[in-house]
Chain A
Amino acid sequence: MNLDDKLSPVVKNLAPSGIRRFFDLVSQNPNAISLGVGEPDFTTPWHVRDTAITSLETGQTSYTSNQGMPELISQICRYLADRYELSYTNNEIMVTFGASEAIDLAFRAILAPGDEVLVPEPCYVSYTPCVELAGGKSVPVPTHARHGFKLNVDELKKRVTPRTKALIVNYPNNPTGAIMTREDWLPIAKWVKQRGILIISDEVYSELTYKGHHVSIASLPDMKEQVILINGFSKAFAMTGWRIGYAAAPGPLLQGMLKIHQYTALCAPITSQIAALEALRNGLTECEAMVSQYDRRRRLVVKAFQDLGLPCHEPKGAFYVFPSISVTGMDAQTFAERLLIEEEVAVVPGDVFGSNGAGHIRCSYATSIEKLEKAFSRMERFLKRHRKAGSTGTAIQTHGA
């Protein structure tokens, strides 16, 4: 029996993850310094872990309501109001297995076969597969280094069709570190309103905003009713392994997502919900301390890439930089592979985040300053050897951020 034939065509045709291939390569190289890690290098604040331990000791090991623990939902409500000027009610919020589950639920709840979703690229690797698994069609929308990888309404207009159901946005952005200000959002909001397109807004990096304050698209006038807002605890509170996040959306959309969640997940793990509640109640100080550490590293890393002569826009959110490596004449895959083999530094080739990530690499600065500095001195050696013929001697110069 050929078991491959038993797989659903959608699953069979799902593109293999570009990250996966690179992961295998890096795993064979235990001494590599990895700038490829998309999660905080901090551990969850101790009081959060301690609260979870106590909850286990006192036997809190049951299911919770499908939607999530009421105390947690109320706390999320308050948090969204305090931090981002968002006014959701308790019945517009649900707790999920990380932002990841919420992304999947959002697409499954709204997409009919053939519906299209506008996906700005480069972007987080899950969006297109989740759209396809939900029977939809992903329509890539390029964002450009020259715009600081911000979303541009003209690019959206070129790709909209009568089948366009939704637009997914992710700011602060993985992999580019781009953010969107209120002014940046205004034309997008206006257009989306006009067209009646839903927005799925993945804001997992909202707390990791370094210049100014994060602006949620859902906080713009009249936008809330067509936004599914997704956030989580992974990045803000260094809680990736707890698998806990949430979605906020107007009643009918949230009910749709909840319907799927109750049959496929039942509820998010209670220990993680208790920990998340503690993080929101008492963890914002630690969150701010982590953010200020990321910010310092961010400045070091941007400066280092400038000194290396790799043009790099200034990332204002998340913990990634996305420099261009085209001065080397190598494509991103070759660059990343050679850098790994020759200098034992792992970065992620930009094209795994969408074809217009080509010519870039993603470097995470969720790594200690000591490791970052070591990685940069290795990269400097590497670039000295591999500067494109003809640009020798001129490639190492400062490019504006």
Chain B
Amino acid sequence: MNCSLQQEVLSLLNENAKLSADKIAIMLGESKDTIETLISELEETGTLLKYKAVVNWQKAGIQKVSALIDVKVTPQQGFGFDALARRIYQFPEVRSVYLMSGAYDLSVAIEVDTLESVGRFVSQKLAPLDSVVGTTTHFVMKKYKEDGIILDDPEQDQRLVITP
């Protein structure tokens, strides 16, 4: 399959998951069939994982508590970072898990409904894991940009309505 076409389709959908195959086909000057086939292939191979909305929960009046947790780990014989990460990402409150270079090993982002849930998660779920030797929890106080999307209200179009 045409590699640059694939990249263009992926970047269009990455920007706007709502775009129909039809519209994508027009925008890229391809047939609808080509695009539909390509998208199914990308879905089947797990390249296109999911279509989801970026929500500003605060606007919706729904409180969410987010925290970033630095996790220090001593990998044990036969139980490396990957295995630990897999155990951590199974928890539904975990939004992301990254292996990091530097002062700690795993960075875990969680999103829950209350402050207490963060404490519960860390003390009852994360810290007791065998190879976890320490955690530092940072609460998110305000979100400005999420997943490449600015959460502030967009600025008004300042251009004059008609220009030559």
A residues bordering B, Cβ < 8 Å? 17, 19, 22-23, 26-27, 32, 34, 36-39, 41, 124-126, 174, 296-297, 299-300, 303, 346, 348, 369
Contacts and interface: CB of A to CB of B under 8 A. Distances in A.
A125 B161 CA distance: 16
Contacts, number: 48
Contacts of A126: 164
Given A300-B26, A303-B26, A38 B161 contact: no
22 contacts: A17-B164, A19-B164, A22-B162, A23-B160, A23-B162, A26-B162, A34-B161, A36-B163, A37-B159, A37-B160, A37-B161, A37-B162, A38-B164, A39-B159, A39-B163, A296-B12, A296-B27, A296-B28, A300-B23, A303-B26, A346-B161, A369-B16
B138 to A, nearest CB: 27
Contacts of A299: 26-29
Nearest to A34: B161
User: Majority SS of interface residues in chain A?
Assistant: mixed
A36 B157 CA distance: 13
A32 B160 CA distance: 12
Nearest to A43: B155
User: Majority SS of interface residues in chain B?
Assistant: loop
A348 B162 contact: yes
Interface centre among B26, B157, B162 (most CB of A within 10 A): B162
Interface centre among A26, A34, A41, A297 (most CB of B within 10 A): A34
A41 B162 contact: no
A175 to B, nearest CB: 9
6 A-B pairs with least C-beta separation: A296-B27, A36-B162, A38-B163, A23-B162, A34-B161, A125-B164
B142 to A, nearest CB: 21
Contacts of A297: 27
Nearest to A289: B11
